[in-house]
Chains A and B, each alone.
Chain A
Amino acid sequence: MAQKAIVIDLDRCIGCYACVVACKQENNVKLGAYWNKVLTVGPAGKFPDVEMYFLPVLCQHCRDPQCVKVCPTGASYKRDDGIVLIDKSKCIGCQYCAMACPYGVRYFNKDEGVVEKCTLCTHLIEKGQEPACVKVCCGKARIFGDLDDSNSKASQAIRAAGANNVHTLADVGNHPSVHYILHRKRATWRSG
C-alpha cells in the first residue's frame, strides 16, 4: 500500500497564491470554485510579538476517508496509491461526501451535477510529473511523494522537520495525509 500526498512546508510558504492559480489553470476549475486555496492564519498575539502563517488547503487524501465510506454509489474511491478520486460518471450529485468531509474541501459543480475536488493531478503523476501546485511553487514549500516510502522526498521532509514541527488538520478518525511543517519559532500551529 502506498499513500501519495503533499507535505507543505509553511515555513517556506510566502502566500503568493501561485498554487491556487496553477490548480485552476491545470484542472480547468470553474470561476468562483477552488480545489486548492491559501488561507491566512493570524496575525495573532500582541505587538511586537505577533505571528502569522499561510495555510494552503486542499483535499487531504485521508487514509480513512469518510467521503469514500458514505458515498452511496462508489463514485468516491481510494486508489491503491492512496489518492482519493471521484468517478464523475457514477456520481449522482447527492453531496453526501461533501457533508462527510471535515474540511469542506469538496465542491458541488452545479453545471455538471457532480462533486469535484483536488485529484493530486493524477493525469500529471501518471506521466511521471508532479502535481501542478508542486511544480509551480516558487518557495519550494510543497513536496510531493509517497508517505509509506521512507525514502521519498515527502517522508524525508517530515523526518527532517521532527515530530514536534509536523502537523495535520483536525483528525476525527479520517487520518488526513497532507502534512504541514511549521516550526514553533516561526509561528504557533493553530489549524488542528
Chain B
Amino acid sequence: MEIQWPLVFFTLLTGLGAGGFAAVAACELLGKAERARVPGAIMAVVAMAAGGVASVLHLGHPERFFNALGHLSSGITTEMVLIGLTGLTILAYLAVVRLGYSALARRVVAGIGLVLAIALVFAMGASYVLPARPAWNTWLLPLLFASSAAVLGLFAMYIWTLAAMEDKAAVVAANKAACIAVAVETLVLVAYVIYLAVAPFQNPLRSAGRLLGGDLALAFWLGVVVVGIIAPLVLTGWLAKRKAFPSLAVPICGLLCALVGGGTLRALMYVLGSSIEQFF
C-alpha cells in the first residue's frame, strides 16, 4: 500500500516520546541520572504531542477526531487512550518533581508511566497486526515497534545524561543501554525478515526477496541497516570505547540515525503491507 507518511511520523515521534519517558522512569526507579530526568520528560511529552498532531494529519475528517474514542476494542481507540494516559502521567511526573513531592511519589508516578509507555509502544505495533495484511500479521511487529522506541528513547536519554553533566558512570550506562537496545532491535529485525520469507499468502510484492534484493533493497540496506543499525552500533560501541568521555555529538548522531532508520523501516512496512488480494 502507499506509504502513510503522517502515520510514519506519528509512530516514530510517539515511539520517541514513550521510549524517552520509559527511560526517564527507569532512571527514576533506579535512582540514576537525576538531572537528566526533567529535560528527558519534557522532550518525551513534546515528542508525543508532535506525534499526535502528525496522526491527525492522516485523517480525512480531523474535526471528528474524538469520534475515534467510540469503539474501545479498536486498535486506534486503544492507542488514543494510551497516548492520553501516558501524556497525562508525564505531566503529572513533571508536576510531582516541580512541587517537590517525596521520592516515593515520584517513583509511583514514574512506575505507572513506565507501564503505560511500554503498553503504548506495543499497542502501536499491535494495531497493524491484521490477518488481511500477511506482512503485518505477526507479533514480531509490535516487538519491532517496541525495540525501535527503546532505541529512540535511550539515545534521547543519553543526550540528556551528557548535556546535564551527569557523572561518568551514568554516561557509560546510558551508552551501554543504547547499544544493547540497538542489538535487540537488530535481532527482532532479523526475525521479522525471516517471518516475511515464510509468511502465508506469499506474494512478490511483500516478499523478503523484494526487501533484501529487489527494488526496496537500497532503502533497506542503506536506510535501515547502515544508518539505522550499523551507525548507532559504531557510535555506541567502537567510538565510545575510544573516548573516555564521549562528546554530545555521539548520542545526537545516534538519535538522528535511529530516527532515519526507524522512519525508513516504517515506510518499508507500508510498502510491504499489501492485502491478501488487492483487487481495487
**How far is B59's CA from A112's CA once the two chains are assembled, in angstroms?**
11
B241-279 vs A: 1/0 string, CB under 8 Å? 000000000000000000000000000000001111111
A102 touches B275 (CB 8 A): yes
B71 touches A74 (CB 8 A): yes
**A67 to B, closest residue via Cβ:** B132
A105-131 vs B: 1/0 string, CB under 8 Å? 111101011110000000000000000
**How far is B2's CA from A110's CA once the two chains are assembled, in angstroms?**
14
B131 touches A101 (CB 8 A): no
Residues of B within 8 A of A92 (CB): 59-62, 64-65, 67-68
Interface flag for A150 (CB, 8 Å) = no
Using known A-B contacts A72-B70, A99-B132, determine if residue A93 contacts B60 with beta carbons closer than 8 Å. yes
A102 touches B276 (CB 8 A): yes
Q: How many residues of B contact A (CB 8 A)?
A: 35
Using known A-B contacts A73-B71, A92-B67, A96-B75, determine if residue A113 contacts B60 with beta carbons closer than 8 Å. yes
A72 touches B279 (CB 8 A): no
Minimum distance in angstroms from B98 CB to a CB of chain A: 35
Stretch at the interface among A3-11, A158-166, A167-175: A167-175
**How far is B81's CA from A72's CA once the two chains are assembled, in angstroms?**
12
Residues of A within 8 A of B65 (CB): 92
Residue among B69, B132, B133, B275 having the largest count of chain A Cβ atoms under 10 Å = B132
Residue among B80, B274, B277 having the largest count of chain A Cβ atoms under 10 Å = B277
B70-81 vs A: 1/0 string, CB under 8 Å? 110111110010
B76 touches A70 (CB 8 A): yes
**How far is B132's CA from A105's CA once the two chains are assembled, in angstroms?**
12
**B76 to A, closest residue via Cβ:** A72
**How far is B201's CA from A57's CA once the two chains are assembled, in angstroms?**
19
Interface flag for A177 (CB, 8 Å) = no
B67 touches A103 (CB 8 A): no
A71 touches B71 (CB 8 A): yes
**A55 to B, closest residue via Cβ:** B279
B45-74 vs A: 1/0 string, CB under 8 Å? 000000000000011111011011111011
**How far is B131's CA from A102's CA once the two chains are assembled, in angstroms?**
7
Minimum distance in angstroms from A21 CB to a CB of chain B: 16
B61 touches A99 (CB 8 A): no
B61 touches A170 (CB 8 A): no
Interface flag for B130 (CB, 8 Å) = yes
**A169 to B, closest residue via Cβ:** B277
Minimum distance in angstroms from B172 CB to a CB of chain A: 43
B279 touches A37 (CB 8 A): yes
B84-118 vs A: 1/0 string, CB under 8 Å? 00000000000000000000000000000000000
**How far is B67's CA from A94's CA once the two chains are assembled, in angstroms?**
11
Interface flag for A187 (CB, 8 Å) = no
Residues of A within 8 A of B61 (CB): 91-93, 113-114
A170 touches B201 (CB 8 A): yes
Interface flag for B1 (CB, 8 Å) = yes
- Which residue of A74, A100, A112, A114 contacts B132 across the interface (Cβ within 8 Å)? A100
**B55 to A, closest residue via Cβ:** A94
**B200 to A, closest residue via Cβ:** A172
**How far is B58's CA from A110's CA once the two chains are assembled, in angstroms?**
11
A94 touches B68 (CB 8 A): yes
**How far is B5's CA from A31's CA once the two chains are assembled, in angstroms?**
26
A39 touches B279 (CB 8 A): yes
A94 touches B132 (CB 8 A): no
Minimum distance in angstroms from B51 CB to a CB of chain A: 15
Residues of B within 8 A of A170 (CB): 201, 276-277
> Can you list 6 A-B contacts with CB-CB less than 8 angstroms, sorted by A residue number?
A70-B75, A94-B59, A96-B76, A102-B275, A103-B277, A104-B275
List the 5 shortest-distance A-B pairs measured between CB atoms, nearest first: A93-B60, A113-B60, A172-B131, A72-B76, A102-B132
